Amino acid sequence: MSFVGKTAVVTGSNSGIGLGVARELARAGANVVLNSFTDRAEDHALAKSLASEFGVTVRYIAADMSKGADCRRLIADAGTCDILVNNAGIQFVAPIDDFPTEKWDAIIAINLSSAFHTTAAALPAMRKRGWGRVVNIASAHGLTASPFKSAYVAAKHGIVGFTKVTALETAGKGVTCNAVCPGYVLTPLVEAQIPDTMKEYGMDRETVIREVMLARQPSKEFATVEQLGGTVNFLCSDAAAQITGTTISVDGGWTAL
Ligand code: NAD
């Protein structure tokens, strides 16, 4: 699998799954644009270290995926976007009755609306070049639900629907759009949920991991960021040229239950 000469933009990629995906794309020869909302020396240093590790061009572009104009500017500033991975995401856990409106709005903006803005900005050039790949990092929560995650589940179901529409609007143009649906991956996002979940269920950390998180993951193993990166690379390969408008689960069997 080689993406030499292609440029990939991965939103929310200074950490976790986004960084894992960016690494695997760079390993396969793609030039990469890393992104998050921060603009720290360490963000740019991360780009530099990836570039020297894999011998590709890596830039870090700060843009806030909660803002539509920033999402569109990211794609414009990238110059070329052959592969778009919509990955940026946040989580907040609370019962619907107590769910803060600003958290609802932020999750819908970052986890769902950002993909609309980046995709809208990237598609015209992809269609023109006759090649493009859009991969949306959804979730097992794009296919099923859990209590206390109303905004997240709504956003992830939304992105699965948006994936299908994008696929229909690009079919036959050399462009595909698919959603990857991970189960639990031990990233900073998941680490951050552990204290709230401990509180909600009145459990200690190890019990939350075993009884709440991995309870629904029959493999009883976290998926890894490298496995997510490998899945994205497959969807970007020629072998996947006729795979479009669908979801691929990387969830240890969760959604087979
Ligand atoms: P993470 O917290 O490690 O990474 C999230 C990334 O998004 C970070 O780079 C962060 O800086 C970025 N981000 C957050 N807000 C942003 C904003 N406003 N603008 C730009 N970037 C922003 O989390 P992760 O677990 O790697 O999650 C990545 C994606 O994978 C998310 O969409 C998440 O919903 C999805 N996912 C994660 C899991 C899991 O178990 N970790 C499971 C299913 C789906």
* Three-state DSSP string of the chain: CCCCCCEEEECCCCCHHHHHHHHHHHHCCCEEEEEECCCCHHHHHHHHHHHHHHCCCEEEEECCCCCHHHHHHHHHHHCCCCEEEECCCCCCCCCHHHCCHHHHHHHHHHHHHHHHHHHHHHHHHHHHHCCEEEEEECCHHHCCCCCCCHHHHHHHHHHHHHHHHHHHHHCCCCEEEEEEEECCECCHHHHHHHHHHHHHHCCCHHHHHHHHHHHHCCCCCCECHHHHHHHHHHHHCHHHCCCCCCEEEECCCHHHC
Q: How confident is the model at residue 1 (pLDDT cuts 50, 70, 90)?
A: confident
Nearest-CA residue for ligand 1 atom 10 is: 12
- Dist. CA 90 → ligand 1 center (Å): 5
Q: Is the pLDDT of residue 188 over 90?
A: no
State whether the beta carbon of 42 lies less than 6 angstroms from ligand 1: no
User: How many other CB atoms are there within 10 angstroms of residue 219's CB atom?
Assistant: 12
What pLDDT is attached to residue 193? 82
CB distance 146 to 139 below 8 Å: no
Q: How confident is the model at residue 75 (pLDDT cuts 50, 70, 90)?
A: very high
User: What is the maximum span of the chain, computed from C-alpha positions, in angstroms?
Assistant: 54
pLDDT mean over 241-252: 98
Tell me the two tokens of residue 226: 């490298």
Q: Is the pLDDT of residue 136 over 90?
A: yes
Q: Is the pLDDT of residue 133 over 90?
A: yes
Looking at ligand 1, which atom is closest to the CA of residue 141? 43
Q: How confident is the model at residue 189 (pLDDT cuts 50, 70, 90)?
A: confident
Does residue 152 carry a catalytic annotation?
A: yes
State whether the beta carbon of 17 lies less than 6 angstroms from ligand 1: yes
Q: Give the tens place of pLDDT for each residue, 214-224.
A: 998 999 999 99
What pLDDT is attached to residue 57? 98
**Cα separations in angstroms, 181 against 30, 62, 126, 138:** 23, 26, 24, 5
Q: How confident is the model at residue 86 (pLDDT cuts 50, 70, 90)?
A: very high
What pLDDT is attached to residue 49? 98
- Dist. CA 128 → ligand 1 center (Å): 30
State whether the beta carbon of 114 lies less than 6 angstroms from ligand 1: no
- Dist. CA 103 → ligand 1 center (Å): 15
Tell me the two tokens of residue 106: 């932020």
Q: Give the tens place of pLDDT for each residue, 146-179.
A: 999 999 999 999 999 999 999 999 999 999 999 9
What mean pLDDT value characterizes the chain?
A: 97
Q: Give the tens place of pLDDT for each residue, 16-64.
A: 999 999 999 999 999 999 999 999 999 999 999 999 999 999 999 999 9
What pLDDT is attached to residue 60? 98
